[in-house]
Amino acid sequence: SKEKPWAGRFKEKTARSVEEFTVSVEFDSRLAYWDILGSKVHARMLARQGIISEEDAQKIIEGLEKIWREIESGRFRWRSELEDVHMNIEAALIELIGPAGARLHTARSRNDQVATDVRLYLRDEIDDLCRRLQGLQQALVDKAEENIQVIMPGFTHLQHAQPILFAHHLMAYFEMFQRDRERLADCRRRLNYCPLGSAALAGTGFPVDRHFVARELGFTAPCANSLDAVSDRDFIIEFLGAAALIMMHLSRLSEELILWMSSEFAFVDLPDAYCTGSSIMPQKKNPDVPELIRGKSGRVFGHLLSLLTTMKALPLAYNRDMQEDKEPLFDTVDTVKTAVAIMGEIVAHLKPRPERMREVCEEGFLTATDLADYLVEKGLAFREAHAVAGRVVAYALERGRRLWELSLEELRRFSELIDEDLLERLSIEGSVARRNSFGGTAPERVKEAIASARTRLSQD
Ligand code: ARG
């Protein structure tokens, strides 16, 4: 096998088992695009500073571009004995252009190189993920607007609570994903500093221009401390934290869709194209997609904990342990991106069943709070009103009747304050319309929320 770039002080060949144990190229080759991007700017900087010649820099850049075309088209031969993406590309460059290629690694180490690659990679992936989240938010707003007249039972403790607009429920998720996007933007802002020029850990004696490199790669500035630059993985952990929250939100939405699709709820329907069947039970139409999203939240939470644990006792600066950051990161990126995208499709194809939701609204005592509120308006203190309404509910329950099926005469036995105008107050529509405090479920408020959501979406 080819000699390793670092083999100078070694007298023996690396054991095969060690090569197999330490290799990372099968997963970090994913960083090739950003590795080459960083190397090109590094080469240009070396020439500008007179550290290498312009001709050598030119050869390096052309060589790297040729290598990228090979990688992109799948013609590049990755060699596991060259360990990782960085040494594979460097070795290929030297093979391709000769001595000039051997000058690329001047004033650089794989430690600042890998830290830069991952930041560049993650910055792009964050932008992609944000666009997907926007798509999902768009689907939620569209679905909310389309179904603005649909009323559903709202729950607390998974018990019927108060009637709400289905649109209001959807818009709650809009807010969660809005916060998720803000968190990602924040994470992006903090990770956008350039490690290059920190070299192995101490900086370099070559007259590098770290500011030029940072600027050319779109970073805000170079990282301030060379030790921190090569040993910081906070930005990955932060991203995994943000990703874990996204998955938690997706999982809650999934859980609701699964419940709502059951025949016990039967609140929504999903088209066949988004469901799967059973190999034994012919009648089945299962919500496997939301179930898998819910399930995949577990692996993302695991990745977050795995990297925190990997990092927690590492002395400064670089340690090989940190190579273990990549698989959890890549798997999280893949998982979250696909989960967000498919949830967007599901929301877009969701069909609420307003009649069924209505039926359930009428089953429970969802307007019992309205009865209490009514008594308060007539002068009763809320605590007393609550007790009166509670006794009315118990009375109706015992007789298997609904609130509005009680006669005025029966109702007046509980309080003299009750009049005919109560009946309108106990209607589902009336109950929803009255909850018009800012952020409430009244149709006018939800329409405002939808309008504000559209503005917020168009602003970024
Ligand atoms: N493959 C390594 C990683 O991902 C690159 C940096 C290796 N540096 C070193 N000195 N071994 O962490």
3-state helix, strand, coil in the chain (%, to 5): 65, 5, 30
Enumerate the H helices of 312-363 as residue ranges.
Answer: 326-349, 354-363
Say what the pLDDT of residue 342 is: 98
Query: Distance, CA 38 to ligand 1 centroid (Å)?
Result: 16
Tell me which residue of 77, 93, 87, 68 sits closest to 19, measured CA to CA. 87
Q: Assess whether 308 and 430 both reside in one domain.
A: no
Cα 321 from Cα 310, distance rounded (Å) = 7
Query: Distance, CA 64 to ligand 1 centroid (Å)?
Result: 20
Would residue 158 count as lying in a domain? Answer: no
Report CA Rg, the chain: 31
- The residue whose CA has the least distance to atom 7 of ligand 1 is 110
Examine the residue annotation and report whether 160 is marked as an active-site residue of this protein.
no
Q: Kindly write down the DSSP assignment for every residue of 149-178, as one continuous string.
A: T-EEEEEETTEEEEEEEHHHHHHHHHHHHH
Query: Distance, CA 87 to ligand 1 centroid (Å)?
Result: 10
Question: Is 323 close to ligand 1, i.e. is its CB under 6 Å away?
Answer: yes
Q: How many of the other CB atoms lie within 10 Å of CB of 149?
A: 11
Ligand 1, atom nearest to 200 Cα: 10
* Pocket perturbation via mutation, ligand 1, pick of 25, 83, 111 by most ligand atoms within 8 A of CB: 111
Number of domains in the chain: 3
Q: Assess whether 180 and 241 both reside in one domain.
A: yes
Query: Distance, CA 200 to ligand 1 centroid (Å)?
Result: 10
Q: Assess whether 237 and 313 both reside in one domain.
A: yes
Q: How many of the other CB atoms lie within 10 Å of CB of 178?
A: 16
Question: Is 11 close to ligand 1, i.e. is its CB under 6 Å away?
Answer: no
Q: Assess whether 313 and 281 both reside in one domain.
A: yes
For residue 91, the enclosing domain spans 7-106
Question: Is 110 close to ligand 1, i.e. is its CB under 6 Å away?
Answer: yes
Cα 216 from Cα 177, distance rounded (Å) = 32
* Pocket perturbation via mutation, ligand 1, pick of 14, 26, 84, 201 by most ligand atoms within 8 A of CB: 84
Domain closes at, from 330, 353, 376: 353
Cα 313 from Cα 127, distance rounded (Å) = 31
Would residue 274 count as lying in a domain? Answer: yes
Cα 58 → chain centroid: 40
Query: Distance, CA 323 to ligand 1 centroid (Å)?
Result: 6
Residue ranges of the chain whose pLDDT lies below 50: 1
Q: Among positive and negative, which fits the CA dihedral 83, 87, 88, 92?
A: negative
Ligand 1, atom nearest to 85 Cα: 1
Q: Assess whether 365 and 338 both reside in one domain.
A: no
* Pocket perturbation via mutation, ligand 1, pick of 18, 19, 110 by most ligand atoms within 8 A of CB: 110
- The residue whose CA has the least distance to atom 12 of ligand 1 is 323
Cβ atoms of 294 and 384 closer than 8 Å: no
* Pocket perturbation via mutation, ligand 1, pick of 105, 320, 325, 329 by most ligand atoms within 8 A of CB: 320
Would residue 372 count as lying in a domain? Answer: yes
Phi then psi dihedrals of residue 282, to 5 deg: -60, -25
- The residue whose CA has the least distance to atom 4 of ligand 1 is 323
Say what the pLDDT of residue 425 is: 86
Q: Assess whether 318 and 426 both reside in one domain.
A: no
Predicted confidence (pLDDT) per residue in 391-437, tens digit: 999 999 999 998 888 999 999 999 999 999 998 888 999 999 999 99
Question: Is 111 close to ligand 1, i.e. is its CB under 6 Å away?
Answer: yes
Would residue 394 count as lying in a domain? Answer: yes
Question: Is 243 close to ligand 1, i.e. is its CB under 6 Å away?
Answer: no
Q: Assess whether 324 and 393 both reside in one domain.
A: no
Would residue 154 count as lying in a domain? Answer: no
Query: Distance, CA 151 to ligand 1 centroid (Å)?
Result: 57
Predicted structure pTM score: 0.94
Q: Assess whether 324 and 418 both reside in one domain.
A: no
Cα 76 from Cα 60, distance rounded (Å) = 17
Say what the pLDDT of residue 1 is: 44
Q: Assess whether 199 and 279 both reside in one domain.
A: yes
Q: What is the CATH number of the domain that holds 411?
A: 1.10.40.30
Domain closes at, from 353, 372, 389: 353
Q: What is the CATH number of the domain that holds 87?
A: 1.10.275.10
Q: Assess whether 288 and 369 both reside in one domain.
A: no
Q: What is the CATH number of the domain that holds 275?
A: 1.20.200.10
Q: Assess whether 234 and 258 both reside in one domain.
A: yes
Question: In the numeric block, which tokens belong to residue 92?
Answer: 């290929």
Would residue 157 count as lying in a domain? Answer: no
Query: Distance, CA 282 to ligand 1 centroid (Å)?
Result: 53
The active-site residue, picked from 73, 157, 263, 279, is: 157
Examine the residue annotation and report whether 278 is marked as an active-site residue of this protein.
yes
Beta bridge partners of 151: 165
Q: Which residue has the tokens 């509005």?
A: 404
Domain closes at, from 106, 121, 141: 106
Would residue 213 count as lying in a domain? Answer: no
Would residue 218 count as lying in a domain? Answer: no
Query: Distance, CA 30 to ligand 1 centroid (Å)?
Result: 15
Question: Is 41 close to ligand 1, i.e. is its CB under 6 Å away?
Answer: no
Q: Please tell me whether residue 351 adopts helix, strand or coil conformation.
A: strand
Question: How many Å from the N-terminal Cα to the C-terminal Cα in the chain?
Answer: 51
Question: Is 114 close to ligand 1, i.e. is its CB under 6 Å away?
Answer: yes
Q: Assess whether 185 and 307 both reside in one domain.
A: yes
The active-site residue, picked from 1, 53, 262, 278, is: 278
Cα 110 from Cα 5, distance rounded (Å) = 12
